[in-house]
Chain A
């Protein structure tokens, strides 16, 4: 056996270094996939354990397959590196993209996982076989496995502490892809002598390296692109406030608002939603003078209200000043709201709706003829409070004699238990609910409730003298009709201290698709 030379030592070190990188990258891809899975599919415990299980078994598969690789070990090793670099490096971007375009991302996610796992599983045995010349088995196994495990440790520390917070998923995966490709490139150079087609491999490695490095540099924009994809249409404005993420997209004439990724309106059909929300309530009261709007920081409900000459004052309570400022000031958005938020009749209050009404009552504030409750869907406990009996009692107390409240109440079709729970809760709060619904194409069949202290029939005529696109007297009457398969359900009342509605909502929507929620 010839004595090892200096360059043999250098090679051995490079190989051990690549073990480290491979192990780190492997685990990073696994963590990225698991995180993506829990972001996109929910339920992190299930997603994490599935991903880990599938990944480890794919690694086992790779190790087993390694026995079929008998020739040109160095070439294969570099090829495997390049496959991991490309698939792993692009994994996060691909999943984001896939989420926007595929009916289910699960197959994509698991394909990525299986490919990367198998390749990583193949890699270590190959490496060991490459390195075995000139070393005793016990030393070899000890070194390779030690570096392998150190790599895993490194990854598990880097991922939560640095990568996720500072780079985000898309750029982190590009970064590790680039590192993988870098190792492949270095190996291709150092092992030139042992390669069957050194130039071709070198060129391939260089190409992958450059491609991934450029993607890494473009990563920032790609993240926007990925977000775009999530939103189907080009993102126009994306702003993170203290409370939520506001995103506005535009495609042609269609402008859409998303809160935390959930659609709030599409400019193509929002008139259906907002006309249905506002005018039945106005018609029900007659000629309201004082109106309170809870939520509705986009000013679209206010726009419909201000069409009525009788209205002298609108108090609009929305949690997020970023939202009301955006819709008051942004030149692309003010045409949508017709400048309602700068109308002298309207006052914006940035506060929690429950707290505001409670304080209004404690102050002995004047009652309202119409109260419009247009809040995000009850998908969490802090929003669920705003659909509780206690809240509706407060609202009832803030209504003027003969006053009318109108509540956006989720979808009676997609979330029937949630919808009827709102209706029952209003009734339990001593209000007379009159349920109705309208077809808003971008949401589906959407539900509202008119509520008043006294018992009255639904309004029959739309108010005169206002320009309407959707409502007519005939349509108005039809809104209060529910087909046989949408009968009222016998569900519980939503109390502040049990918040059964939040459970109904979760279950209703989980039964369809987590993507169809319209929440905040």
Chain B
């Protein structure tokens, strides 16, 4: 398949998986890691093979990853009452009752890690290929589910809440029980070995860069109107029945009003956020979501900031890790972009990327978004430095640069009822030749979900063009 175009609104490819650069290091603007896939995720392994992340197979047939892509120890640490501890579970000072509760929780997870009566796994990737057995868990919130289980330990609740905020930008009150459990089980329950994580200095931007390179895209090259991958290309209208698409193509000059071009396509994959689609459809009434009642698709706002430091952050207790998380705070802490540097790099300093989802109940989340997007950047960079200083007193004197990114609609919120409800089914449904397939229509903002959604939409398009083949998705 060669006759296709990729049109991207922004100056750079990657969307929420874009990267930035400070003098000391590259850094992520959004997505920063990918859990190493299970061997059963063939299609994903295939992608990583194509992208040179998997460099071979061992005699047992297991994928071998380029060592520099694996996050090396120390992977994570958490801060509890000023002291850092290894790992992500705040176990220090736990009472025997709390320990017993944690054991019960892990046993519960282990018990859920199996196939349903329909022979499909109860949790898997992509989420829509899982067994239907536990779908009713999507109707209730994780808070209610934990209440039902009798989980009262603040440690466990914090850890689960952290997982929800980290993956989805929602607290456990706002996340459906199924979605929360999906975090722990979609890739299989990790019995004792921690699952390796794949990461790069600028996070998943490395993956998008390699994908674009395979399509012949060179970021620094001058604009080629006939290029297959075109940035600065805003899709402004789509006639879903005729496959007529109009886009405004801009040049490098920011003042350039751009040129309106028309393309015709036999299939269109809408990989942009779903809420934009109605604005470009020539017939808004064709949008199946238009008449929908019930839980609507909502998005969490995120504040992300990369901070350049003169010195690597320290702290009392466990040494600096890749991911550094304060317990019982609104923010998720920071990830170290310079973590993967090897022994031959003796430059001082570090770049760390700070993450904070702005959580709220459904209607109020819009207020938080407005709050995030209003006001000047310096207010937010001060906020970030203050939060870092709460973890590392005095760190403000080490800060040389702060680069703030505000994501108004960062992640789809898997609130109760969304994942297996009517809204997503309608959101995904084809409209004429248009097939929405970005990560938001899967209900979970994850690389893997976006990948499978794209593969599925592409397979459908190929089938429509009479070039269908066996699906890569089990």
Contact = CB atoms under 8 A, between A and B. Distances in A.
A243 B67 contact: no
A361 B73 contact: no
B344 A390 contact: no
Give the interface centre of B75, B343, B346 by most chain A CB atoms within 10 Å: B343
Interface of B: 52, 55-56, 58-60, 64-68, 70-75, 193-194, 196-197, 319, 342-344, 346
A439 B194 CA distance: 37
A351 B346 CA distance: 12
Interface string A396-433: 11000000000000000000000000000000011000
Interface in A348-377: 350-352, 354-355, 358, 361-362
A201 interface: no
Chain B contact residues: over half helix, strand or loop, or mixed?
A: loop
Contacts, number: 77
Nearest to A385: B72
Nearest to B321: A381
Interface of A: 242-243, 319, 350-352, 354-355, 358, 361-362, 381-385, 388, 390-391, 393-394, 396-397, 429-430, 453, 495-499, 502
B68 A358 contact: yes
Contacts of A397: 55-56, 64
5 contacts: A242-B346, A385-B67, A385-B72, A397-B55, A497-B72
Contacts of B319: 381
Contacts of A499: 72-74
Give the interface centre of B59, B64, B71, B194 by most chain A CB atoms within 10 Å: B64
A9 B154 CA distance: 66
Contact of B193 (A350, A352, A495): A495
A384 B73 contact: yes
A240 to B, nearest CB: 12
Given A430-B58, A495-B196, A354 B73 contact: no
Given A362-B52, A496-B67, A497-B73, 6 more contacts: A351-B344, A383-B343, A390-B64, A390-B70, A496-B73, A496-B196
A419 B319 CA distance: 25
Contacts of B52: 362
A388 B71 CA distance: 13
A391 B67 contact: yes
Contact of B344 (A355, A381, A396, A429): A355
Nearest to A495: B193
B82 to A, nearest CB: 13
Contact of B74 (A361, A381, A390, A495): A381
Contact of B72 (A352, A429, A496): A496
A354 B72 CA distance: 12
Contacts of A382: 342-343
B74 A429 contact: no
B197 A497 contact: yes
B381 to A, nearest CB: 29
Contacts of B72: 381, 385, 388, 496-497, 499
Contact of A393 (B58, B74, B344): B58
Per CB-CB distance, the 3 closest pairs between chain A and chain B, nearest first, are: A499-B73, A352-B342, A352-B344
B59 A430 contact: yes
B75 A497 contact: yes
Nearest to A393: B64
B344 A319 contact: yes
A393 B196 CA distance: 15
Contact of A498 (B55, B68, B194): B194
A362 B55 contact: yes
